A and B are shown apart, each in its own frame.
Chain A
Amino acid sequence: MKGNGKTIKKILHYLKPYWFFMLCSVIFAAASSLLALYLPVLTGEAVDLLLGKGKVDMDGIAAIIIKIAILISLSAAGQWIMNACNNHVAYCSVRDIRQSAFEKLQRLPLSYLDSHAAGDTMSRMIADVDSFADGLLMGFTQFFTGLLTIGGTLVLMLMIHKWVALTVIVLTPLSLFVAAFIAKNTSSLFKAQSKTRAVQTGIIDEMTGNIKLVQAFSHEEEAQALFDGNNEELGKISLKAIFFSSLTNPSTRFVNNLIYAMVALFGGKAVIDGLMGVGQLTAFLSYANQYTKPFNEISGVMTELQNSITCAGRVFELIEELPEPEDPAEPEEPECAEGAVSIKNVSFSYDKSRSLLTDLNLEVPAGKRIAIVGPTGCGKTTLINLLMRFYDVDAGSIEVDGKDIRKRSRRSLRAGYGMVLQETWLKPGTIKENISLGKPEATDEEIEEAARRSHAHSFIMQLKDGYDTVIGEDGGQLSQGQKQLICISRIMLSLPPMLILDEATSSIDTRTEMKIQDAFAKMMQGRTSFIVAHRLSTIKEADTILVMKDGNIIEKGRHAELLEQGGFYSKLYRSQYEM
């Protein structure tokens, strides 16, 4: 329960705009449950009029019936309005929470997003928010009405007959004790169950997720044996957990039934002794039924609320993550966008205990082509992350056209770059929308022209609806290479002053690549370009080749110079030609 207070405060903050609906909900809940409570009194009065043959006051009964009819219509209407208000509050506040979570998502530093599984963030924004809404709804609907019903019943019972009422009051906690006792003892079983289930999900995820590989190695029998072993274990634990937790209902019902019997006993005696009427006894009996029910409901609501607060806490964690540092209030934008880049004494690491880039220096005059090569993990992609300001340097500075990039707005900096990454990403939408991502105002002709230059036009035309073909999540039916071609079309259309190509053609076959080489070369003319590539043939033409290893630039120069040096680069290059 610790820390819940803070979360509840935050929840209240989101509920605040809907205070009017909440007020309505409370008023109507009170009205409807109090009216409903009065019903047994009326029924009891009617019963009391049924004295026997020829002694029934039919007019009195008719009057009571009319009262009951009015009562239930009002109570039902109140209940419906309360529900509608609750829906409104719960769903609207949940919408607001999702919206602010999404807005935070747009401002979170890449370091957060890179180090947190996308699945986790998604489940916070979708599943957790959903269970929060469920809990909130249930809480609103049942908690307050439950409390009112308990209180109201108490008062009414005490009014009818003190001693019988006291019997009920004294005995009720018994059922609560029973429920709490069972819950306490089953929670460890549930924990064991979810642990085993997590193992099972892991097995399913691995073995079914890689089913093709399992089959290729005819590993099916082993996989099945592994799964069955865990499945049996889960079955045993689940049986226990389910059985013991399902003891709650029958046990509390048993206690409730006993209370009911006690009321019948003491009430019956009281009637015999002339202390109350038969109608009052029936009213009492139905109160005894009603009185214990909300207790059970409320204990259910409490667990649900607890769960919903935990879920809300997880969403708030996301919402409260530290965002990227704000852009400067008065950004200093360079007067011209030529694309001269200078990297001065830059140090950077993702994990502060292990340094990656140390004291890196590099001057890139405008319009030059820089190729970066080196083994995996040498810091190539990191350099790009820093240039785009996806990450900020730990020390030193990066300047573009003479201005420190931290003094500019991120948007203007990034608008200066055209970026194609190895990991292509297409937005769910049409091909056209995807190509014009960087230039939404582009005409159809411009889009087609860009696609032609990147040799994407021909395959786009083969798709069902050409440029209007809708591509689903993850690019759907397009091959990796085709996706890369579309990404290249994007920058061929927007033509920014600087280019970043990180393995931009890795999935495109070399023949097609050669065909778009010309277009690439033309585009790179006069544009500062940073190229990361595996294929050495694509970088031979660069003005400067940086050879990186373990975060340092170990060689630097033109292709021919580096070959002459006979260092790491020449070794790498020769391995392509020699066996």
Chain B
Amino acid sequence: MKRLLKFFRGYRKECVLGPLFKLLEASFELFIPILVRQIIDTGIPTGDTAYVRMRVLLMAALAFTGLVCSLTAQYFSARAAVGFATRVKSAVFSHVQGLSYTEIDRLGVSTLITRLTSDINTLQGGVNMVLRLFLRSPFIVFGAVIMAFTIDVRSAATFAVTVLLLSLVVYGIMLITIPMHKKVQNDLDKVTGSVRANLNGVRVIRAFGLEDKEKEHFGKANALLLKMQILSGRLSALMNPVTYVLINLGLCFLIGQGGSAVNSGRLTQGQVVALINYMSQILVELIKLANLIVQLTRALACAGRISSVLEEESSMNDGEKEYGGNGGAASLRFENVAFRFADSGGDAVSDVSFELNAGETLGIIGGTGSGKSSVANLIPRFYDATSGSVSINGTDVREYRLKSLRDHIAVVPQRSVLFSGSVRDNLKWGKKDATDEELFEALKQAQAYDFIMEKEGGLDYTVAQGGSNFSGGQKQRLAIARALVRQPAILIMDDSTSALDYATDAALRSAIKNMEKRPTTVIVSQRSASIMHADKILVLDAGKPVGLGTHEELLKDCPVYREIYESQFGAEK
């Protein structure tokens, strides 16, 4: 939580002035019962209309100053809350950008998005409320008690006891209902889960005729939610009546006490009326306070969640060396590399060693879960090797400055993602200052030139969010073009041609081969055809290398490779 407090820096003035003006306004409110008392005790018995008029004018003046004060308070607290939230958001966004893959895997992207959006919004509302209102209610409650003391110490004891009892009751009810609210939330999550499952799995559910079963299942989750809601609702509904009863019992006591005090001449009628007015002020404020606390706990929970994101440290240390190179391809070397995902019992890959000269192509093949992508991910330091070393141009990748390293590597990921913007914007991710000629060249190499040119506006054609206006194969080709624009030293294609038909795949490979500045290329694939012409092929099986060599060598010596090949091309070939 401390981590978040520092974002108030620069808004210190607002944070102090906001509540201060609010308190000023509240204290004016506390004077009202005194003025009423004076009217009753002094103005009325003497029949002095001018006196009454004076007091009423004072009331109006107080109301006006109160208005000015509270407007000032609203302004300062809105400024502080919005400024705070804006800075927290920017900081969290930037922090998330700096997390390594390991942390992102653990936290999950969807949580990060919720925290950046709805959690911070809730927090902003919470901060605003605290600055504006949270101090006000307790201040009025205690102020009223103190004012009661100035009027009459003995009656004020009634106030103290009532407030104490009330706080206990309010606290107790909240103590019980807050966990119940959480349970309601959990039950609601189950209902949500059921709906989501039915939306995503609609074809399977209908194919298997499971509609009735699902209805029943949903009905159960729904009924459970209802039961919890009603139970927690009943308890929360106690809050108002109970506070109401307690306050008014206090009032009864006050009237009784006040009666005898007036009778004995210790108090005047007006003083008792003032005491009664203070009591009702307390009632109003306490009810507000209870509602506030419920909202506050929500904001606090959000603050905790946001803070925990900021507490995540990237597990990756940046190196210092700049990537040298001459703009050409780089050599790549793996030495006894093993890699294990955090929180995982076994190595994802181990004992990987190979050497690749500048401009050569490495194919990595193996079954699902054999560790192909893990090997590729170590090259741009998406993850760090657990043991052994990965080096580029003879330098361990951990010694390079991350940004300078990644600037020279281009990756085509398994799942091709495009961003909203124009085709040009997307391609320029590869190279910020690329000319149109360079973009066209990359599109041609990626076999994407023709379909882009058919689109209205060509490079200026708008890509919808998530790239939904392109087919899977087109998206893959654009993702490849985006990588080629960079003219990287190393090109990594992580199973990124799966949606291309074989003819296009083949044309793409030969285009890369004929590139003017041919990069060192690493192709991860399940398809033999995609990698069989590589200079070297690494065969992985369950995280262990079981073969390294050319297609012909492996076909002869590596049974796993032969099996894969034959499974795709048939044994007769």
- Whether the Cβ atoms of B276 and A282 lie closer than 8 Å is yes
Q: Which of A56, A61, A126 contacts B191 (CB 8 A)?
A: A126
Provide the B304-327 mask, 1 if CB < 8 A to any CB of A, else 0.
000000000000000000000000
Q: How far is the CB of A24 from chain B (nearest CB, A)?
A: 14
B167 in contact (CB, < 8 A): no
Residue of B99, B203, B367 near A425 (CB, 8 A) is B203
Q: Do B208 and A268 touch (CB < 8 A)?
A: no
> Within the assembled complex, what's the spacing in Å between the Cα atoms of A534 and B229?
51
B53 touches A51 (CB 8 A): no
Contacts of B97 in A (CB 8 A): 207, 211, 214-215, 220, 223-224
B514 partner residues in chain A, CB cutoff 8 A: none
Interface residues of A in 211-254 (CB under 8 A from B): 211-220, 222-224, 227-228, 231-232, 234-235, 238-239, 242-243, 246-247, 249-251, 253-254
Q: A212-B413, A512-B367 are in contact. Are A217 and B406 (CB under 8 A)?
A: yes
State whether the Cβ of A388 lies closer than 8 Å to any Cβ in chain B: yes
Q: Is A202's beta carbon under 8 Å from chain B?
A: yes
Complex contacts, A561 vs chain B, CB 8 Å: none
Q: Which residues of B contact A511 (CB under 8 A)?
A: 367, 560, 563-564, 567
How close is B280's CB to chain A, nearest CB, in angstroms? 6
Could you tell me if B199 and A105 are in contact, using CB atoms closer than 8 angstroms? yes
* B44/A268 in contact, CB under 8 A: yes
Q: Are A437 and B56 interface neighbours, CB within 8 A?
A: no
> What CA separation (Å) do A438 and B196 show in the bound complex?
21
Are A58 and B86 neighbours in the complex by a CB distance under 8 Å? no
Neighbouring B residues of A210 by C-beta, 8 Å: 417, 419
Query: Inside 8 A of B101's CB, which chain A residues have their CB?
Result: 212, 215
Output the nearest chain B residue to A390 by Cβ-Cβ distance. Answer: B203
Q: Between A and B, how many residue pairs show CB distances below 8 Å?
A: 416
**Is A92 engaged at the interface, CB distance under 8 Å to the other chain?**
yes
CB-based contact B204/A61 at 8 Å: no
- Say yes or no for A445: interface residue by CB 8 A criterion: no
**How would residues 84 to 110 of chain A score, 1 for a CB under 8 Å from any chain B CB and 0 otherwise?**
100110011001001100110111001
**Complex Cα spacing A421 to B202, Å:** 12
What A residues does B218 contact at CB under 8 A? 99, 102
Question: In the complex, which residues 396-423 of chain A have their Cβ closer than 8 Å to any Cβ of chain B?
Answer: 410-411, 414-415, 417, 419, 421
Question: Is there contact, CB below 8 Å, between B78 and A239?
Answer: yes
The answer, among B219, B406, B471, for a CB contact under 8 Å with A99, is B219
Expressed in whole angstroms, the Cα–Cα distance for A507 and B498 within the complex equals 10
Chain B, residues 25-53, CB within 8 Å of chain A (1/0): the string is 10000001001100110011001110011
Main SS of the interface on chain A?
helix
Contact partners of B191 in chain A: CB under 8 A: 98, 126
Q: Which of B1-9, B58-66, B391-399 contacts A (4 or more CB under 8 A)?
A: B58-66
In the complex, the answer to whether B74 meets A247 with C-beta atoms within 8 Å is yes
Q: Is the CB of B86 within 8 A of A232?
A: yes
> B248 at interface (Cβ–Cβ under 8 A)?
yes
Contacts A50-B262, A54-B263, A215-B382; is A264 near B255 (CB within 8 Å)? no
- The answer to whether B263 touches A414, judged by C-beta atoms less than 8 angstroms apart, is no
Residues of B within 8 A of A214 (CB): 97
Nearest CB of chain B from residue A271's CB, rounded to whole Å: 5
CB neighbours (8 Å) of A261 from chain B are 56, 59-60, 63
The yes or no answer to B503 lying at the interface (CB within 8 A) is yes
- Per a CB cutoff under 8 Å, which of A62, A232, A234, A479 touches B256? A62
The 8 closest A-B pairs by CB, nearest first: A509-B367, A83-B237, A53-B265, A257-B63, A87-B233, A481-B368, A76-B241, A56-B263
Besides the contacts A46-B255, A106-B211, A253-B67, what 5 more A-B pairs have beta carbons closer than 8 Å? Answer: A72-B244, A118-B196, A216-B409, A224-B93, A437-B210
